[in-house]
Amino acid sequence: DRAAGVSVAESEGYLKVDQIGERASELKNLSDLVPPNLASELVPEALAWASTHGLVMGDKSIENSGKVPGVGLVHAPFCLFPTPFPAEAFEHAIDLAPLFNKLVDEVSKDGNFLQETLERTRKVDPFTNRLLGIHSRVSEEGIKQEVQLGMHRSDYMLDKATDTLFQVELNTISSSFAGLGSQVSNLHGYMIRHVERSTNMDAKQVPENTAADAFAEALALAWQEYKNQSAVVLMVVEPGERNMYDQYWLAIKLYESYGIRTIRKTLSEIYAQAHLSKDGALYIQEELVAVVYYRTGYSPTDYPTDFEWEARLLVEQSSAIKCPSISYHLAGTKKIQQELARPGVLERFLQGKESIEKVRSCFAGLWGLEGEGSTEIINKAIENPDAFVLKPQREGGGNNLYGHDIRDRLLELREKDGGIGLAAYILMQRLFPVPHTSYLVRGGVWSFEETASELGIFGAYLRNAETEILNKAGGYLLRTKVSKSNESGVAAGYGVLDSVYLL
Ligand code: ADP
Ligand code: MG
Ligand code: MG
């Protein structure tokens, strides 16, 4: 029975959307407008739409689904209807995008800041150490490419207690779901058409999602800056990538709209096939590479041997435009996020009181754990771990600690080697997002759940040595998870793709 897990009372009267309250914390749910029997009828419509519009991924249970396009597809997990979100907070997040783009760029230019901030972390975290090693090496040798391309995603939660939009993190490498995210918003427009008469829902409340176009445009403009018509974009991918269609959305747009070819290689293929010309141009066999776009390389498991590290270094030494460059990658680490939140630090990188205040207003509590001054916050977290999230320098979901695990880990780290291991982590104020209820659809099966959402705003940035070429927000992604789950990663299997219904 598909309705398993449905807990809403069948007899409940369903609201009209204009009865939904105005304030974020009072916002009800679009699922209140759609009774389970109607939802159940609409799920196949949504599944058919997803399948016919490329809202798909590789199916875990089918061999080769992460290797051969077109084999073993399943729809991406999604919310049947969008989730209400206050328009004001959404627009605020959009306004922040160019500021964060600029901030990443300015931070990336300050090599000493990156090295110094990560100095204690590198001693206890071999992964950060290797990234910094590449950064020092190419800084010493001299950077061969001044063009910087940022394709970021800044993630936020709307905190229930304060009704405030807080940044969770800023991703500067491998920000995913620009492709599929755009399609989820289109799906929601389609679903609303099915119920607009019976519910007063209005598809216009789902903002147009330009994420896929914006990211394809960013890649195209970067390619143009390289100024060689025969060069390609190199997408660096995992050996088995089930989220490949999200990536193909960008590659295919890049070809259809701009005539630019993309090739896909793993880090180990790059190691085997890449070389640099005398002047530093990057070749994969015979192909000249204009832009290197990483959709891997953010996690220690992406570098199983030294060969992958060799490949990363070679790319970094080349004159290809990298997204991200090693300095952009480092600027997006959690340790840097925490440092930027300390008093006076933003002022070093951003101009204008208003901009600085705007950026700072979305910073939640963030604390470093190394050094004398951190005893108090460590004690607080040990006493009350549910008020915090403990984060290592990792990306891709599933790495953070919560609750009891925070206490255990902090006690363990404090005891060992005089506490030096604490520098691998940061503490963050735990956010509690405004709760909703939603119909979630995964693997063709739907369930009705209490949910929490995380808003991601894509940012696209491009500059050359002299001028800024592109600096804008580029669409969005809402990820919605079951409330009781700690993490929201979609690829990691925690959340579903969603979009916003602005109120
Ligand atoms: P990653 O780079 O692995 O995505 P994040 O900082 O985004 O790291 O954390 C992963 C997930 O953990 C987030 O998507 C969110 O669901 C949850 N999370 C992270 N920080 C917080 C926080 N401060 N409060 C509540 N949940 C959080
Ligand atoms: Mg991240
Ligand atoms: Mg994240």
Does ligand 1 have an atom closer than 6 angstroms to the CB of 159?
Answer: no
Under 8 Å between Cβ of 328 and 460: no
What band does 421 get if pLDDT is binned at 50, 70 and 90? very high
Position 6 in a domain: no
**What SS3 state is found at 78?**
strand
What pLDDT score was predicted for residue 492? 66
**What SS3 state is found at 462?**
strand
Task: Determine the distance separating the centroid of ligand 2 and the alpha carbon of 395, expressed in angstroms.
Answer: 4
What band does 15 get if pLDDT is binned at 50, 70 and 90? low
pLDDT greater than 60 at residue 20: no
Looking at 362-480, list the stretches that DSSP marks H as alpha helix, in order from N- to C-terminal side: 375-383, 404-415
pLDDT greater than 80 at residue 383: yes
Position 1 in a domain: no
Tens digits of per-residue pLDDT, 440-456?
999 999 999 999 999 99
Position 7 in a domain: no
The mean pLDDT of 160-186, rounded to a whole number, is 96
What pLDDT score was predicted for residue 200? 87
Does ligand 1 have an atom closer than 6 angstroms to the CB of 29?
Answer: no
Position 3 in a domain: no
C-alpha–C-alpha distance, residues 468 and 102, integer Å: 10
What band does 27 get if pLDDT is binned at 50, 70 and 90? low
Tens digits of per-residue pLDDT, 263-276?
999 999 999 999 99
Does ligand 1 have an atom closer than 6 angstroms to the CB of 31?
Answer: no
Tens digits of per-residue pLDDT, 481-497?
999 888 777 766 679 99
Tens digits of per-residue pLDDT, 289-300?
999 999 999 999
What pLDDT score was predicted for residue 364? 98
Q: Residue 222: which H helix or E strand, with range?
A: helix 211-226
The residue type of 123 is K
pTM here is: 0.94
Looking at 142-207, list the stretches that DSSP marks H as alpha helix, in order from N- to C-terminal side: 178-199
Tens digits of per-residue pLDDT, 143-158?
999 999 999 999 999 9
pLDDT greater than 50 at residue 165: yes
Phi, psi of 456 (to 5 degrees): -110, 130
What pLDDT score was predicted for residue 485? 82
What band does 16 get if pLDDT is binned at 50, 70 and 90? low
Number of domains in the chain: 1
Task: Determine the distance separating the centroid of ligand 1 and the alpha carbon of 381, expressed in angstroms.
Answer: 17
Which residue bears the tokens 């990483």? 294
C-alpha–C-alpha distance, residues 31 and 25, integer Å: 16
Q: For a pocket test of ligand 1, which of 155, 400, 480 has the largest count of ligand atoms closer than 8 A to its C-beta?
A: 400
Position 205 in a domain: yes
**What SS3 state is found at 35?**
coil
Residue with the nearest Cα to atom 16 of ligand 1? 487
- How much is the ipTM here? 0.99
What band does 28 get if pLDDT is binned at 50, 70 and 90? confident
Residues contacting 189, CB < 8 A, separation 6+: 203, 206
Position 12 in a domain: no
Phi, psi of 375 (to 5 degrees): -55, -45
Looking at 118-177, list the stretches that DSSP marks H as alpha helix, in order from N- to C-terminal side: 119-124, 126-141
pLDDT greater than 50 at residue 8: no
Q: What is the DSSP letter of 433?
A: B
pLDDT greater than 60 at residue 24: no
C-alpha–C-alpha distance, residues 148 and 57, integer Å: 30
Position 11 in a domain: no
Tens digits of per-residue pLDDT, 39-61?
999 999 999 999 999 999 999 99
pLDDT greater than 80 at residue 21: no
What pLDDT score was predicted for residue 23? 45
What pLDDT score was predicted for residue 22? 47
Ligand 1 atom closest to the Cα of residue 429 is: 23
Task: Determine the distance separating the centroid of ligand 1 and the alpha carbon of 164, expressed in angstroms.
Answer: 16
Does ligand 1 have an atom closer than 6 angstroms to the CB of 32?
Answer: no
What pLDDT score was predicted for residue 159? 94
Does ligand 1 have an atom closer than 6 angstroms to the CB of 495?
Answer: no
Average pLDDT across the chain, whole number: 93
pLDDT greater than 80 at residue 26: no
Q: So which residues are the catalytic ones?
A: 153, 169, 171, 176, 334, 391, 395-396, 479
What pLDDT score was predicted for residue 3? 34
Buried b (16+ CB within 10 A) or exposed e, 2-28: eeeebebeeeeeeeebeebeeebeebb
Domain hosting residue 278, numbered range: 17-430+438-502
Position 385 in a domain: yes
Under 8 Å between Cβ of 65 and 71: yes
Tens digits of per-residue pLDDT, 233-245?
999 999 999 999 9
Tens digits of per-residue pLDDT, 91-148?
999 999 999 999 999 999 999 999 999 999 999 999 999 999 999 999 999 999 999 9
